[in-house]
Amino acid sequence: MESSLSLDKIAFRFEDAPVLQGVSLELSPGSLLGLVGPNGSGKTTLLRLAAGLLKPTRGRVILDGEPMERMSRSEIARRLALLPQNPNLPPSFTAWEVVMMGRTPFLGFLSREGAADRAIVGRAMEMARCRHLAERRMEELSGGERQRVIMARALAQQPEVLLLDEPTTHMDLQHQIAVVELVAELVRGGLAALGVFHDLNLAACYCTRLAVLSQGRLVAVGTPEEVLTPELLSEVFQVELCLTSHPEGGMPAVLPPGPRGNGQARLSPREVADLPGIGPHPDPLPGGEGVVESPLPEGDGRGVCEMDGNPERGRLRCSVN
Amino acid sequence: MVEVAAAKVGVTGKRRVYSVGRYGVALAALLMASAAGVMVGKARLDPGTVLAILLSRLPFTDFTPWWPASFEAILLEVRLPRIVMGGLAGAGLSVAGATYQGLFRNPLADPYLVGVAAGAGLGAALAMAMPLPPGLYSLGVVQLAAFLSALLTVGLVYSLARVGRSTPVTTLLLAGVAVGSLASAATSFVMYSQGDKIPVIYAWMLGGFNITGWQQVTLAAPPVVAAALVLSLLGGVANVLQLDEDQARSLGVNVELVKVVLIVCATLATAAAVARVGLIGFVGLVVPHAVRLLWGPDYRSVIPLSALLGAAFLVTADAAARLLPGPQEVPVGVVTAFCGAPFFLFLLRRQKRSVF
């Protein structure tokens, strides 16, 4: 099938620092591609490149068979919608007005909306479960409600390609699932979607394919089962995780290492002792004298004290008989 | 493509942006302000006389003048141009203020933000300080210098603020402040090196309509009217800019182009007004907020309504300035601040929600 959006050997540098190198991705209608990877791996940059908000240093982005750099902003916006991560929303505008902005690329010069636009906006808000918020001002909405309004605005663009930057941030679990299920349903209807996901389990449950970014390079692309392997996870995320499978769907599920931990992200006792406020007093005691209060271990009160380390910052070790 | 098919639309959150009522109210305010402005002054003209003088100027009417000839001159050559100039300046400043508030997403933005005022001041001061032949002054060389210098200053600010292919609004704002201070310093230097010209230059800066005649009106009208029309048409785009630049781009707006058009129009309107009437403060800041408080934040109506109410406000302020007792006419900028600030505070307190 012809792909809706393809990234062709994309490289991007920010002030001479390479952010992305040689990334190629194909996104076809009816697929939800999940982009995962640790912080700073270039996920959001890749999404912004795919949305045409950044121009790649090398390579090109092709939307509907046409190179994006040759398309106008409104041509892009009629086919591709972006769900940003932390959008600024004018506090005194109503949810309805914000969703109506999704019709901008379709309106004429005078930006007067017609009955058809209003119908589309109403339907988009119903789909994103925020129809009841229509008259509310943005400043009155919670983070999750705002996110649903932005989702409705993206739907009002009637896009062929939907880009999502962590669509479930700030959301309650039921709304997270509702949003991802809505996207999955639209994808079954022929939408091509590319989403950055922080939650590997959500990504594994709903994405048709996953792409893993690490240090600006694509290290794996494939079905969740192919991609989420213990080796890859420990290599990319630098931590041992517990990989199991979903009791119903059988797709991979990633859990934290459990109460015993894996000993990786721990500080040694030595490091803890050197933390400010916890370790030995940073200033040497004046004149080599000082009082240290400490509960004495059980014993008859007699014992030995000995000094180790240098005289200024040493430890006084006392043992009690 | 997402099938977002038509569904029956019930109650909606849309405001009636195009409703005629609010424009009727604003127009009525402008008409009343103009009527007051025509009648008030040292020579008091009553409404009947004003109407008769105006009608007598139309073809196919036949009035035997019962009024002194001086009334006709006062009305047609002094009061009317002054009112039209006041209306143009008020409209231009308010439209520019609304535009900059939208462009910078900052409720404190005013028309003088990106260097118009400082530029116009420097141009006017230079023109007044230079030993030019007196004939040039009566031709309006000061106004021309102020206008051109304001445009040049904003152009300089814009080109300094450019980073690669875009012009971030924060950089624009900072460059505006820096270049503005530079131009103000230069103005002060001009004033102090030409000590005898200080009163003239200072009087110009305080603003006023004393020198207004039809010639100045015909020079100021085209840029102000054209800019106000274009900006009114760009209200929908200004709405989308309230999100942020990335969102505006992904909704299909060519943000850099829009920025240039908005800045050019707002600068033309401000410079044309300031060059003729000096640096009148508070109008461009307060009028758009009053419009938002009354009729909501949608820029499709904020911009045209700001033009109408701004014109009404400045015409009223000018009439009030003429009414105030004193050896000299009070500068209109003093009046705009005196009545604008409390009105603004009243609106602000009445509605506690954010209006911007």
| Residues on chain A touching B8 (C-beta within 8 angstroms) | 119, 122
Where would I find the H helices in chain B?
Answer: 20-39, 47-56, 69-73, 80-103, 116-129, 134-138, 141-161, 169-193, 198-206, 214-233, 235-241, 245-250, 255-277, 283-295, 299-323, 332-350
Phi, psi for residue A254 in degrees, rounded to 5? -110, 125
| Residues on chain B touching A87 (C-beta within 8 angstroms) | 243-244, 247
The answer, for B352 touching chain A at a CB cutoff of 8 Å, is no
* CA separation for the pair B354, B276 (Å, rounded): 35
pLDDT at position B95, please?
Answer: 96
CA distance A170 to chain B (A): 19
| Residues on chain B touching A97 (C-beta within 8 angstroms) | 13-15, 239, 298
The answer, for A118 touching chain B at a CB cutoff of 8 Å, is yes
- Does residue B7 sit in helix, strand or coil? coil
| Average pLDDT in chain A | 84
CA distance B303 to chain A (A): 13
For residue A62, the one-letter residue type is: I
Q: For residue A137, give the chain B residue with the closest CA.
A: B13
* CA separation for the pair A233, A230 (Å, rounded): 5
Alpha-carbon B227 to chain mean position: 11
| pLDDT at residue A300 greater than cutoff 70 | no
* CA separation for the pair B109, B289 (Å, rounded): 11
The strand pairing partners of B166, in sequence order, are B163
The answer, for A190 touching chain B at a CB cutoff of 8 Å, is yes
Q: For residue B10, give the chain A residue with the closest CA.
A: A122
**CB spacing of B254 vs A190 below 8 angstroms:** no
| pLDDT at residue A154 greater than cutoff 60 | yes
Strand A209-214 and strand A31-36: the pairing is parallel
* CA separation for the pair B104, B180 (Å, rounded): 17
* CA separation for the pair B204, B237 (Å, rounded): 36
Alpha-carbon A234 to chain mean position: 18
Closest residue by Cα to residue A52 from A76, A87, A79 = A76
| Residues on chain A touching B229 (C-beta within 8 angstroms) | none
Long-range contacts (CB closer than 8 Å, 24 or more residues apart) made by B47-52: B50/B75
Q: Are B35 and B315 in contact (CB under 8 A)?
A: no
pLDDT at position B133, please?
Answer: 84
| Residues on chain A touching B9 (C-beta within 8 angstroms) | 115, 118-119, 121-122
pLDDT at position B10, please?
Answer: 39
The answer, for A271 touching chain B at a CB cutoff of 8 Å, is no
Q: For residue B15, give the chain A residue with the closest CA.
A: A97
Whether ipTM > 0.85 holds is no
pLDDT at position B88, please?
Answer: 95
Reported as a pLDDT band with limits 50, 70 and 90, residue A282 is low
The answer, for A123 touching chain B at a CB cutoff of 8 Å, is yes
* CA separation for the pair B14, B70 (Å, rounded): 53
**CB spacing of B9 vs A87 below 8 angstroms:** no
Give the mean pLDDT of A25-35: 93
CA distance A33 to chain B (A): 16
**CB spacing of A118 vs B14 below 8 angstroms:** yes
Walk along chain B (356 residues) in steps of 10 and give the mean pLDDT of each run. 47 52 92 90 81 82 79 86 93 95 88 89 90 80 90 93 85 92 93 84 77 83 95 93 92 92 93 88 90 90 96 93 82 84 75 64
Of A90, A109, A120, the CB nearest to B242: A90
Reported as a pLDDT band with limits 50, 70 and 90, residue A230 is confident
- Does residue A118 sit in helix, strand or coil? helix
Q: For residue A136, give the chain B residue with the closest CA.
A: B13
Angle between helix B255-277 and B214-233 (nearest 10): 160
Tens-place pLDDT, residues A47-72 = 999 999 999 999 999 999 899 989 99
Q: For residue A52, give the chain B residue with the closest CA.
A: B250
The strand pairing partners of A94, in sequence order, are A137
Alpha-carbon A157 to chain mean position: 23
The answer, for A182 touching chain B at a CB cutoff of 8 Å, is no
Of A90, A93, A127, the CB nearest to B4: A127
Task: Give the single-character DSSP code of B112.
Answer: T
pLDDT at position B164, please?
Answer: 79
pLDDT at position A265, please?
Answer: 47
pLDDT at position B9, please?
Answer: 39
Write out residues 61-90 of B within 8 Å (CB-CB) of A: none
Tens-place pLDDT, residues A97-143 = 999 999 999 987 666 888 999 999 999 999 998 999 999 999 999 88
The answer, for B243 touching chain A at a CB cutoff of 8 Å, is yes
Greatest pairwise CA separation for chain B in angstroms: 75
Reported as a pLDDT band with limits 50, 70 and 90, residue A295 is low
Q: For residue A89, give the chain B residue with the closest CA.
A: B243
Q: What percent of chain A has pLDDT over 90?
A: 50
Task: Name every residue whose Cβ is closer than 8 Å to that of residue A262 and which is 6 or more positions away in sequence.
Answer: A239, A240
Tokens of A17: 């620092």
The answer, for B293 touching chain A at a CB cutoff of 8 Å, is no
The better pLDDT of the pair B341, A78 is held by A78
pLDDT at position A272, please?
Answer: 58
pLDDT at position A313, please?
Answer: 59
**CB spacing of B13 vs A96 below 8 angstroms:** yes
**CB spacing of B7 vs A123 below 8 angstroms:** yes
pLDDT at position B107, please?
Answer: 84
Reported as a pLDDT band with limits 50, 70 and 90, residue A251 is confident
The answer, for A86 touching chain B at a CB cutoff of 8 Å, is no
